[in-house]
Amino acid sequence: MKKKLIEVALPLEAINKESAREKSIRHGHPSTLHLWWARRPLAACRAVLFASLVDDPSSLPEQFPTEADQDRERQRLFRLIERLVLWENSNNRAVLDEAHAEILKSTGGHPPAIYDPFCGGGSIPLEAQRLGLEAHGSDLNPVAVLITKALIEIPPKFAGQPPVNPAAKAKLSGKGMWTGARGLADDVRYYGQWMRDRAFERIGHLYPKVEVPMEQGGGEATVIARLWVRTVVCPNPACGARMPMLRSFELSNKASKKAWVEPVIDHALKRVRFEIGSGQGSPPGGTKLRGRSTCLFCGNTISDAQLREQARNHGADPIPLATVAEGKRGRVYLRSPEIEELQEVAPATPWLSQPLPGNARWFSPPGYGLLTYRDLFSSRQCLTLTTLGKLVTEAHSQAVADGADPERADAISTYLAFALSKMADRGSTICTWGIQRESVQHTFARQAIPMTWDFVEINPFLAGTGTLEGSVAWTAESLDCAPACVRKKGVATQLDARDAGQPGYAFSTDPPYYDNIGYADLSDFFYVWLRHSIGSIYPDLFSTLLTPKVQELVATPYRFEGSEEKARANFEDGFSRAFSNIRAAQDSKYPLTLYYAFKQSESEESSDENAAVASTGWETMLEGLLKSEFQVTGTWPMRSEWTHRQIASGTNALASSIVLVCRPRAESAPITTRKDFLFSLKKELPHALRNLQKGNIAPVDLAQAAIGPGMAVFSRYKKVLETDGSQMRVRTALALINQGLDEVLSEQESEFDPDTRWALAWFEQHQFDEGLYGEAEVLATAKALSLLGLAEAGILHSRAGKVRLLRREELPTDWDPASDKRLTVWEVTQHLIRRLEKQGESEAANLKAQIGGMAEIARDLAYRLYTLCERKGWAEEAGYYNSLVVAWPSMASEAFELR
């Protein structure tokens, strides 16, 4: 069996660089077509698919007989991949044709169809189609299926066709003007404007202009947004007023136009209104802070539990906060009317009466009395979205009247409904006002719907993000860039992954990450509106009131009477069945590629902070994989985040997906013992980990990346037997792999100088806090050091019988490594972090160039310190070491140029 390139080598840094860069590309990127969670970067999918089909030169000894020949050919393929992953080459026919030719050469002219049974946002089928392959995607979730259809099915049907709208017909258009799906995109823009005009006729009066005071320029101004704050009844019996729950009273914190609201309290009527403050003053403190809320009227403070109770029992009614308008002198903040009522009766919206999920992890509003999807929208928002939903249907009829055949009208309506989804995302009462950018934040700022206490209603008839014009523009621009002129058409179907696939396919997939994301629950937010607007076009997809839940492969205990064990068993069983199906259908000439990103964070039942770690998410996925007789033959960490600091947000999130390359395990696979497994693991894991470090895997991802080479050892055996004869669990193997990782990092301490080894030992006990002088002296003596020498080395501070490591902010800013007579890896690492944090990558690169070879050892120390901080729960400190390693490639490039 020929090895594929992905089983031997990849130009990982180039792939990772472009995968991360994609996050900054918005206009025209397929991800902007419709929101989906945890999409894989297109660059990574393209590279993985290509490398899964193309032979590694070592499999072709007749053509490449020597290692040097093989390496030259491998480098040629690498250069192609480096061009292939560039965003600018996404639709470069010459590059795509070259890649397709390589695929044909390795597949005998008959490449397999690519199947993704968990297609989600459609990245993998889209990139398969871009490479000229037959692409199939399926998903249980109808929203995911519709997104994938809109990426791979619909655009090719109308490739090269001119628009059907009257405006385009009235213009002279040359041959070849409407390449790709641009003609369809033009229709989407036209009928989007048609919808806007009719919507304004019907509901434009809901967004009237306002008068601006003379001191702010005077005249009439268009409202950009209305800001609101929710209130709850104060439980103080002597008060009973409605307490406004504000995180912050700020409206804008831009230096040139700071603005905030000042509460004006009427104690007699127990009412509050808000005036606008600006200039040199400062806003009051928020009334809704973490864990407690304060009544503006009586000063009573209540807990979050009391807040939830009051909201459930007495409602969380909103009151006007401020109005944002476009005045003669620019954007202005105005006092809102104290009472504003819509004259229209809110429309009947039975499709919004469905209950919100009862999972507080992903949905906070039900805990505060917001129980249905209707409760997530104000009356004005609901009326606006309902009107536009009806107009999507009317636009379909209008397109047919203008000469479109029913299939094209269906396509136009589909993309207009996607624009409606964008408006819903920016048009719910979960949306807040961003005081830095002075714009609306969307509902899904994270993978959940939180409870928000102040919210914003934007004017949908303006231009910009979240408006109808802006939403249509984003949708059409994605369609403009769709790879519509393809060799093979794609197919997206609604199907349970346990039943997906046909013999002869090559599978590549990004399955659910245990309980990380509740896809079905979250997508219902869009499903209810899509079903209302285009349900008649896709009756099979929208046959149910909400998305299917029972069969979904996500470990959600609330669907199993709160039982985590039942949820876990359902997940594992589902994965086992899905992988068994894949194994039966997989073309044996090609490997299965599997993306997975689940951070390990669970200790094996022990109070010992040094206990080995195993992850339920990884365990259950791997159990399903191994039960299906797959073995891991390769592992690649695919980074999808920018190399900029992750510290600023106070998080230390995974930056990578781990791509597992798998083959069916041979029937003749041996059985081994725990002892022999550990022997093989200790023999192979250190080399694999060193390669990962050389490849600059982020410390936060190292434990996840280590699973690949560790499981490659474990999965090659049919069974690993414990000393009592029982079969070793995957969870045990994961713990042993983590233990091996820790041992490898500990062994790397031999590279460190004695001063650094002392600092590392002291840091593990005290971090940067003080400890007893005597304790420090005992530790130093054991390592043949003196505390005086350590102080002279610039590592520690000693005073009044106490000792501590010097903090980074205490390090000398004019430090010169060339003149340091006792240079240590510890201070090199801390100075690099300080320089990176305070002065940026360029200055850190300059320092790295001065340090020379010791810099690489400093990076090893960063890995060790990150692991130590992670185990201790020092998340913020861990972030600094993670950021140093993540920034290393760009620092290395700049340092090389400075030599």
In three-state form (DSSP H/G/I as H, E/B as E, the rest C), the secondary structure along 713-775 is HHHCCCEEECCCCCECCHHHHHHHHHHHHHHHHHHHHHHCCHHHHHHHHHHHHHCCCCEEHHH
895: nearest Cα among 859, 832, 850, 840: 850
40-54, 345-359, 598-612, 733-747 — which is least confidently predicted? 598-612
Give the C-alpha separation, 755 to 861, whole Å.
13
8-17, 333-342, 711-720 — which is least confidently predicted? 333-342
Q: How confident is the model at residue 27 (pLDDT cuts 50, 70, 90)?
A: confident
More confident residue, 898 or 829: 829
SS3 state at 709? helix
Residue 343 pLDDT > 60? no
Mean of all residue pLDDT scores within the chain? 89
Sheet holding 135-139, edge to edge: 490-494, 135-139, 114-116, 506-509, 592-596, 656-664, 630-639
What pLDDT is attached to residue 91? Answer: 92
What pLDDT is attached to residue 515? Answer: 80
What pLDDT is attached to residue 602? Answer: 44
Mean pLDDT of 640-645: 48
Residue 675 pLDDT > 50? yes
Residue 173 pLDDT > 70? no
502 Cβ contact list (under 8 Å, min separation 6) = 115, 585
Give the C-alpha separation, 67 to 77, whole Å.
15
Environment class of residue 493 by beta-carbon count within 10 Å: exposed (0-12), middle (13-18) or buried (19+)? middle
Cβ–Cβ < 8 Å for 117, 501? yes
Cβ–Cβ < 8 Å for 598, 618? yes
Mean pLDDT of 252-267: 88
Q: What's the pTM?
A: 0.87
737: nearest Cα among 626, 638, 861, 613: 613
Query: Residue 607 is encoded by which pair of tokens?
Result: 């109070």
More confident residue, 407 or 885: 407
Environment class of residue 264 by beta-carbon count within 10 Å: exposed (0-12), middle (13-18) or buried (19+)? exposed
Cβ–Cβ < 8 Å for 665, 718? yes
What pLDDT is attached to residue 493? Answer: 96
Give the C-alpha separation, 275 to 262, whole Å.
5
Summarised one tens digit per residue, pLDDT across range 811-862 is 888 899 988 889 999 999 999 999 998 888 888 888 988 888 898 899 999 9
Q: How confident is the model at residue 174 (pLDDT cuts 50, 70, 90)?
A: low
What pLDDT is attached to residue 345? Answer: 61
What pLDDT is attached to residue 428? Answer: 97
Summarised one tens digit per residue, pLDDT across range 103-125 is 999 999 999 999 999 999 999 99
More confident residue, 597 or 815: 815
Residue 642 pLDDT > 50? no
594: nearest Cα among 612, 609, 582, 611: 582
Distances in whole angstroms, Cα of residue 409 to Cα of each of 195, 197, 391, 416, 693: 14, 19, 13, 11, 53
Summarised one tens digit per residue, pLDDT across range 705-719 is 788 889 999 999 999
DSSP 348: P
What pLDDT is attached to residue 344? Answer: 59
What pLDDT is attached to residue 612? Answer: 45
525: nearest Cα among 456, 416, 425: 425
Summarised one tens digit per residue, pLDDT across range 493-552 is 999 998 876 788 999 999 988 887 889 999 999 999 999 999 999 999 999 999 999 888
What pLDDT is attached to residue 342? Answer: 54
Query: Residue 741 is encoded by which pair of tokens?
Result: 């990782």
Phi then psi dihedrals of residue 735, to 5 deg: -65, -40
What pLDDT is attached to residue 281? Answer: 81
Mean pLDDT of 359-367: 89
Give the C-alpha separation, 794 to 853, whole Å.
20
Residue 430 pLDDT > 50? yes
Residue type (1 letter), 50:
F
Q: How confident is the model at residue 26 (pLDDT cuts 50, 70, 90)?
A: confident
Mean pLDDT of 775-793: 90
Q: How confident is the model at residue 652 (pLDDT cuts 50, 70, 90)?
A: very low
Q: How confident is the model at residue 338 (pLDDT cuts 50, 70, 90)?
A: low
b/e burial code for range 439-470 (CB count within 10 A of at least 16 → b) = bbbbbbeeebbebbbbbbbbbbbbeebbbbbb
Mean pLDDT of 139-153: 97
Biggest alpha carbon–alpha carbon distance for the chain:
94
Percent of the chain with pLDDT over 70: 93
Give the C-alpha separation, 686 to 742, whole Å.
10
Of 368-372, 566-570, 642-646, highest mean pLDDT = 368-372
Residues found in the chain: 899
Residue 810 pLDDT > 50? yes
Q: How confident is the model at residue 36 (pLDDT cuts 50, 70, 90)?
A: very high
Query: Residue 246 is encoded by which pair of tokens?
Result: 């504000």
User: DSSP string spanning 781-847?
Assistant: HHTT--HHHHHHTT-EEEETTEEEEPPGGGS-TT--GGG-TT--HHHHHHHHHHHHHHH-HHHHHHH
Q: How confident is the model at residue 609 (pLDDT cuts 50, 70, 90)?
A: very low
Neighbours of 539 (CB within 10 A): 8
What pLDDT is attached to residue 610? Answer: 41
Give the C-alpha separation, 137 to 118, whole Å.
7
Percent of the chain with pLDDT over 90: 62
Residue 412 pLDDT > 70? yes
Residue 648 pLDDT > 60? no
Distances in whole angstroms, Cα of residue 312 to Cα of each of 174, 231, 307, 367, 476: 62, 12, 9, 7, 42
What pLDDT is attached to residue 630? Answer: 93
Query: Residue 288 is encoded by which pair of tokens?
Result: 């809704």
